[in-house]
Copies of this chain bind each other. A is one copy, B any other.
């Protein structure tokens, strides 16, 4: 089972199921769910919950962040940001709280989709919307 997750990017259960069946043609969905759950509990893989999409699994169990392309759907890894830094960002709001972790997903177009859609060649440092705009 573990080989399946080590071989791909951020597959969903359905993809893992199909890939597993290529090697074990009569494996069942239930088994895939059960094993994936177990593997993530044991820290071999990381369960990803992005929006309300079906779960994905990340072969990298270390905490890190993600970028989700809203065009092609690809999920990329982003580095982990120090919780201390995060906390200083929200120090007023989080006074008295005990922070255990966080989940950050940035949405947008990946570099390939950005290029394809040809937004006047904008790139990372000019394409950012002004904050407070894109939520409404």
Q: Which residues of A contact B (CB under 8 A)?
A: 43, 46, 49, 51-52, 55, 61-63, 65, 67, 70, 76-84, 86-87, 89-91, 93-111, 113-115, 119, 122-125, 127-129, 131-132, 134-136
**How many Å from the CB of A68 to the closest CB on chain B?**
9
Task: Please state if B83 and A98 are interface contacts (CB–CB under 8 Å).
Answer: no
**Chain copies in the assembled complex:** 2
Closest 4 A/B residue pairs (Cβ): A63-B135, A96-B111, A98-B109, A43-B136
Main SS class of interface, A: loop
Q: Chain B residue with minimal CB distance to A47?
A: B52
Q: Could you write out 15 A-B pairs with CB less than 8 Å apart? A: A46-B135, A63-B132, A63-B135, A65-B90, A67-B93, A79-B93, A80-B135, A83-B128, A94-B124, A95-B123, A98-B108, A99-B124, A100-B107, A100-B129, A103-B107
Contact between B91 and A128, CB atoms less than 8 A apart: no
- C-alpha spacing A65/B129, complex, angstroms: 17
CA distance A99 to B119 in the complex (A): 12
Q: Give, as a whole number of angstroms, the nearest-CB distance from A85 to chain B.
A: 8
